Structure 1
Amino acid sequence: MAKEEEPLSPMARMFQSSGTDYCTVIIVGFKTKINPDVILDDLKQNVSKHPRISSKLAEDGTRWIKTQVNVEDHVFVPDIDPDEIGDQGDKFVDDYISRLTMLPLDRSRPLWDIHILNVKTSDAEAIGVIRSHHSLGDGMSRMSLIMACTHKSSDPEALPTIPILKRRENVSHGLRNTGWFLSSMFAIYATVRLIWNTIVDFLLLLSTVLFLKDTETSLKGGAEAESNAKRFSHRIVSLDDVRLIKDIMDVTINDVLLGVTQAALSRYLNGAHDETNENGGTSRPVLNNIPCNIRVRAGVLVNLRSEIGVQPLADMMAKDSKCRWGNLINIVVLPLSIGLETDPLVYLSKAKSTMDQKKNSLHAPILYLIMSFIVSVFGAKIGAALFNRLLLSTTAFISNVNGPTEEISLHGHPIAYIAPSVYGHAQALLIHFQSYADKMVISIAVDPTIIPDPHKLCDAMEESLKSMKIALLGKGLLINEQVSVRVNNMCN
């Protein structure tokens, strides 16, 4: 094999197969107008250094072929008349990105492009849209690339701080120093629990692929969703608020985000099932009109790297690196607790219980090995078909990626927010969480034929986070006076 060719990994082959032809979209809001010439000059100097973004896909879809990249073919700067757009910048950007989801990437070139929109929106002065095929790499890979191309806004000479995180140990701190007998008993219990949870997860996974489907709701899509245009919306909330709830309730950030998601989807579904007043013809909200025993599940992406945070790009590109570039991810099917709760903290406790069970399971890494085996032996189409059946049986997709811990700039262009998403999937709803400095960006992608207004879901997310903080204040759990002031300020 020529040195300039490299085989696709099994997961990359699956992601470029028909039925799982997924593309990622990273929407970057800037605090200033973008100078396209600066972006072009940087790309011309650096594109060739990255083997993935300077390679095209072979015709048989099994190899990356190194090629000469003409940067001008990948960067698009539409001529925009600000007077014509007026104060409709958000709608213009939403419509533009939605149209992109119907335009396939040119497979005769490296599978990425950048769109520069010097349009003022409610959260930014200009927008950059980075589109690439999912076979190039997962969210962690892309975030590492962004971090390598940017610098701290506070220090233009310094690279961003990499938020490296370690996986939590499952062994309780209180049992580490106990006697040999208790430690041994706990180790046996933990092992049995791990095996049991893994078996249960695989049985549920098999049932989902074969026959177990989610309840038909106003959130669930179908096979047609993968070919429909998608619409994107985002909402920026305080990361400190999320951390505060995490610390007080002694849970993880992922627990908080899942709890907020369950509360928000419950709000949305209850509103979507409003009854109509026959006399006046107006919508009348019902206290609890969500069907009983409703089944709503989400596919959650799990990072399988030993280091779960964003890694330096050089480390990810190193040969045989444990945190290497690519698609080192898999999916876990997570049941969502949907229903109206008088106490919003109930969503949080249920989220923690669910997440604890999934953390004590080998479902994700074993499934990764199984999918890789299926693709290698039976082909990418078979693997893609099985993966697609899994998505068709569930309602939503959720992911969370850690971003830089401080504000960053791209060649003098300070970044206001980063909102990643994906399209090409068979689900009507995707929810991505992206931390950035002191912000948490909630990015939502929907099939508008199923979910007409993604902004309503963003509203429900924001309101659910607020209701949890109000509940903590009402229960007297926010003892610190400074903390209480912060909550009151948010509630006002």
Structure 2
Amino acid sequence: MDAAAPSTLRKRPLSVRTSTSDDNGTDGRTSPDDELGEPVSPSARLVEDFYIIVVIGAATPLNIPALRAGIEAQLARYPHFRSIQVTDKDGNLRWAPTTVNVEDQLICPALAPAAVAADPDKAVEDYVASLSTLPMDWSRPLWEFHLFDFPTSEAVATVAIRVHHSLGDGMSLLTLLMACTRSAADPTRLPAMPPLPTRTGAIYQRPRPSAGALAYLSWLWSFIVLAWHTAVDVVAFFATILCLKDPHTLFKRVNHAESQRKRIVHRSLSLDDVKFVKNAMKCTVNDVLVGVTYAALSRYYFRKSGDTDKEIRVRSILLVNLRPTTSLHACVNMIESGKGSDVKWGNKLGFIILPFFIGKHSDPLDYVRKAKKVVDRKKSSLEVVFTHLAAEVILKIFGLKAAAAIFHRMISHTTISFSNMTGPVEQVEFCGHPVVFIAPSGYGPPEALTVNYQSYVNTIMVNLALDEAQFPDCHELLDDFAESLARIKDAASRLGKQHRKA
């Protein structure tokens, strides 16, 4: 069943202060300069074809008036969420403030009642997949709420939020979304978030003045290692742009059509199980998740391909947030005090080219061991800073078309996009609706497979965005993630018993 075309709660067109120009490549979005705001950042222009979709499950039926009022009071007050992109007289894209009618941003899909009754989960999934082929209305702010006020196997009601990537990267948009929520236990306060991450590594562990010469030499050596690893990664970065391609596997994009319909699916995993493995292996949650991904892709690959026992190395684009770490409460306090402009909601990302290994291991923990080794090596490099600066410089010197071509070439020479984000550690309410799950993903990158992890309370959601034609059995791949975590946890349990006996 293909989802029907969306119908808005209110079909009146939004009034915006723009004037159509001649055919000069500006898409008709021009406006006098005195009406314009800040320029659209280079990073935002680089992701012009990228979109973020966040699927949220609610524990209660949707109260649309309360939802409308809450969005208007919270989300719609942020500058980019009440602006559109227009072109100034010099041909540069800038943000122009506009009047927002929240009703125009709320969409109630006209789904076939028979399809909803037969399989509500599939009805929602099919509709969300259809969004990857439907353009947004650029005469309105580039965000939408698609409302599904019927129960599924996971929630009483579901909301799919579609946001253009230029409004912000995943981390900034998640922070913004959480700033609009409140604790379900106490609606008067913001939700509790995990502790802010701390930087680790030898270069951050400066010896005390009383330390000996050997400690200082070891510390200085860590800078030499950092410089060497960065140089190697920079060479690999340019080689990837020029000629270094991943081998063809089941995960490599096959369909090169401009319009790729993406199937967006998710599966809930136990965060306690992930932390159990983390503690047993003395590593990080991210190490475990990368290891689980290694294992899941390996299970899927060898089952589908029929290949014998061999190891294949592919690469993933791992997005990294480069903002200074700021707590959710600090962000909200700045907004409430009138200093909201100090909060950087936009795109400030670098990326890492992270090796992914597809292979068979008799010990499931070997997937985590290999992941930890790879991630630790990448932590000892400034690759992420270089890639961010390189993207900015290329865009300013060679322009958007050249930068986009280089960016897409690099992505097409790798295999997977990967990210991992942390969410609240307690249940939250959004506009009075208790949230059951949060599942962010997106579409636009030319890869056939995108993997994203999102934690929430005691669960962690694995979210996959897949080329629908290339992965018709996407739910089998989700099963592989669940089974891989179960096997790794079981092996970690045996490891703990062996240590106790010893």
Q: Please give the TM-score of this superposition, normalised by the length of structure 2.
A: 0.87
Matches within 5 A, 1:453-492: 453-477=473-497
Give the Å deviation of 1:319: 6.7
Q: Which secondary structure does the structure 2 equivalent of 1:324 belong to?
A: coil
Residue pair 1:264, 1:461 contacting (<8 A) in 2 also = yes
Relative to structure 1, the CA distance from residue 367 to residue 79 in structure 2 (aligned partners, 3 Å threshold; closer, same or farther) is: closer
Matches within 5 A, 1:101-180: 101-171=132-202, 176=207, 179-180=211-212
Distance in 1 separating the partners of 2:426 and 2:372: 28
- Answer with 31-40 or 122-131: which moved more: 31-40
Indicate the residue corresponding to 1:283 in structure 2: none
1:33 and 2:83 matched: no
Distance in 2 separating the partners of 1:460 and 1:37: 41
In the alignment, structure 2 segments of 5+ residues that lack a partner are 1-32
Residue pair 1:256, 1:351 contacting (<8 A) in 2 also = yes
Provide, for residues 225-254 of structure 1, a one-character-per-residue CA deviation record: whole Å limited to 9, x for no partner. 652110011110111111111112110111
Give the Å deviation of 1:315: 6.5
Identify which of 362, 369, 376 aligns with 1:349. Answer: 369
Relative to structure 1, the CA distance from residue 431 to residue 24 in structure 2 (aligned partners, 3 Å threshold; closer, same or farther) is: same
Provide, for residues 114-139 of structure 1, a one-character-per-residue CA deviation record: whole Å limited to 9, x for no partner. 10011322211111010011011011
Residue pair 2:423, 2:456 contacting (<8 A) in 1 also = yes
Indicate the residue corresponding to 1:307 in structure 2: 325
Indicate the residue corresponding to 2:271 in structure 1: 239
Distance in 1 separating the partners of 2:332 and 2:106: 25
Distance in 2 separating the partners of 1:406 and 1:188: 42
Indicate the residue corresponding to 1:289 in structure 2: 308
Paired residue type of 1:53: F
Q: Which secondary structure does the structure 2 equivalent of 1:332 belong to?
A: strand
Indicate the residue corresponding to 1:97 in structure 2: 128
Distance in 2 separating the partners of 1:29 and 1:68: 29
Identify which of 405, 419, 425 aligns with 2:445. Answer: 425
Give the Å deviation of 1:216: 0.8
Provide the identity percentage.
Answer: 38
Matches within 5 A, 1:343-492: 343-477=363-497
Distance in 1 separating the partners of 2:115 and 2:319: 41
Residue pair 2:59, 2:155 contacting (<8 A) in 1 also = yes
Give the Å deviation of 1:473: 2.0
Residue pair 1:225, 1:427 contacting (<8 A) in 2 also = no
Distance in 1 separating the partners of 2:483 and 2:183: 32
Give the Å deviation of 1:296: 1.2
Distance in 2 separating the partners of 1:225 and 1:341: 36
Indicate the residue corresponding to 1:285 in structure 2: none
- Answer with 311-320 or 231-240: which moved more: 311-320
Relative to structure 1, the CA distance from residue 478 to residue 106 in structure 2 (aligned partners, 3 Å threshold; closer, same or farther) is: farther
Q: Which secondary structure does the structure 1 equivalent of 2:352 belong to?
A: strand
Indicate the residue corresponding to 1:12 in structure 2: 44
Give the Å deviation of 1:14: 1.1
Give the Å deviation of 1:320: 7.5
Provide, for residues 354-374 of structure 1, a one-character-per-residue CA deviation record: whole Å limited to 9, x for no partner. 001111101111211111111
Residue pair 2:179, 2:328 contacting (<8 A) in 1 also = no
Distance in 2 separating the partners of 1:152 and 1:208: 45
Distance in 2 separating the partners of 1:310 and 1:171: 28
Residue pair 1:89, 1:121 contacting (<8 A) in 2 also = yes
Residue pair 2:280, 2:496 contacting (<8 A) in 1 also = no
Q: Please give the TM-score of this superposition, normalised by the length of structure 1.
A: 0.88
Relative to structure 1, the CA distance from residue 403 to residue 235 in structure 2 (aligned partners, 3 Å threshold; closer, same or farther) is: same
Residue pair 1:223, 1:392 contacting (<8 A) in 2 also = no
Distance in 1 separating the partners of 2:371 and 2:319: 16
Distance in 2 separating the partners of 1:208 and 1:71: 44
Q: Which secondary structure does the structure 1 equivalent of 2:189 belong to?
A: coil
Paired residue type of 1:471: A
Q: Which secondary structure does the structure 1 equivalent of 2:368 belong to?
A: helix
Distance in 2 separating the partners of 1:117 and 1:473: 41
Paired residue type of 2:365: L
Distance in 2 separating the partners of 1:10 and 1:172: 31
1:249 and 2:281 matched: yes
Q: Which secondary structure does the structure 1 equivalent of 2:299 belong to?
A: helix
Distance in 2 separating the partners of 1:311 and 1:185: 40
Give the Å deviation of 1:163: 2.8
Residue pair 1:48, 1:69 contacting (<8 A) in 2 also = yes
Provide, for residues 131-190 of structure 1, a one-character-per-residue CA deviation record: whole Å limited to 9, x for no partner. 011011011111112112111111122211233413322129998467331222112210
Give the Å deviation of 1:35: 1.5
Provide, for residues 467-487 of structure 1, a one-character-per-residue CA deviation record: whole Å limited to 9, x for no partner. 011112223448799xxxxxx
Distance in 2 separating the partners of 1:370 and 1:232: 31
Distance in 1 separating the partners of 2:396 and 2:117: 53
Residue pair 1:429, 1:444 contacting (<8 A) in 2 also = yes
Across the aligned residues of Structure 1 and Structure 2, the Cα RMSD in angstroms comes to 2.4
Paired residue type of 2:55: I
Relative to structure 1, the CA distance from residue 137 to residue 118 in structure 2 (aligned partners, 3 Å threshold; closer, same or farther) is: same
Q: Which secondary structure does the structure 2 equivalent of 1:337 belong to?
A: strand
Relative to structure 1, the CA distance from residue 210 to residue 387 in structure 2 (aligned partners, 3 Å threshold; closer, same or farther) is: same
Residue pair 1:310, 1:403 contacting (<8 A) in 2 also = no
Paired residue type of 2:152: T
Residue pair 1:80, 1:118 contacting (<8 A) in 2 also = no
In the alignment, structure 1 segments of 5+ residues that lack a partner are 275-287, 482-492
Distance in 2 separating the partners of 1:167 and 1:2: 43
Distance in 2 separating the partners of 1:474 and 1:169: 29
Paired residue type of 1:450: Q
Distance in 1 separating the partners of 2:189 and 2:472: 43
Residue pair 1:260, 1:461 contacting (<8 A) in 2 also = yes
